[in-house]
Amino acid sequence: MSECGGRGGGGGNNSEDAEDEGGGPKGSGSLSPAGAAASLEGRIRRGLRGASLMARQRPELLCGAVALGCALLFALKFTCSRAKDVIIPAKPPVSFFSSRSPVLDLFQGQLDYADHVRQDSEVVVLFFYAPWCGQSIAARAEIEQAASRLSDQVLFVAINCWWNQGKCRKQKHFFYFPVIHLYHRSFGPIEYKGPMSAVYIEKFVRRAMKPLLYIPSQSALLDFLSSYEVPVFLIACSQGFSLARTGLFVLSEF
């Protein structure tokens, strides 16, 4: 029965060859570690002697091999040194809205400028977008439409919050786009979470522009309560809290 790595075949006339190659007499089985090391060392020595003999007989081959090795090393070093130049920096951002748009487009992510213009306006809507985002692209026309209807009362500002060199990207950490924040001079920000439709955005902004609703009678109050689920009340009375004597101001929900 044969064995894995078993004995080699052959007659008794090659015992010397077996001793030379295996480091032991024939019939000793597979090579021992010492015999394998001695065999490998012998092969390396024979190879070196052959290379030395060839170099003495034909020195031009040795010179050619050395020159070829140097050329390969130089080419490899040059390729590695040029590898960093292959990385192309990102192109600077471009305008997301047209120059004729009623929306102020801060396409370089100038969040500090947005904060500056916000101080001079009663109501400001900030539209944070990523130029590659399909939802941002789809909402662009809706934002422009709402801004056109409210341009005389509300400032709409769009900010590219994706460019890595912009302040918006460095200071804000949004997990989705687009994001709409509304700032009133008295409060804010309020995030808009409704549909990205001009009609709903305009309705949201108009409610924020007039957060107080005057209710003159009890019947009007009952009608209001039937329309809103969680209203917030602010009672303004000069003589007690009697609804018969004075009206009721109600903070409408956004």
Residue 51: per-residue pLDDT: 67
For residue 156, name the pLDDT band (cuts at 50, 70, 90). very high
**Residue 234 bridge partners (DSSP):** 249
Stretch 50-60: mean pLDDT, rounded?
A: 69
Q: Which helix (H) or strand (E) holds 139?
A: helix 134-149
The architecture (CATH level 2) of 104-209 comes to 3-Layer(aba) Sandwich (3.40)
**Contacts of 113 by beta carbon, 8 Å cutoff, 6+ apart:** 106
Q: Look at residue 179 and tell me whether its pLDDT is greater than 60.
A: yes
**Distance between CA atoms of 89 and 10, rounded to whole angstroms?**
70
Residue 85: per-residue pLDDT: 56
For residue 242, name the pLDDT band (cuts at 50, 70, 90). very low
Q: How many CA atoms lie within 13 A of 132 on its CB side?
A: 4
pTM higher than 0.75 for the full model?
no
Compute the Cα dihedral for 169, 124, 115, 89 and give only its sign.
positive
Where are the chain's structural domains? 104-209, 212-251
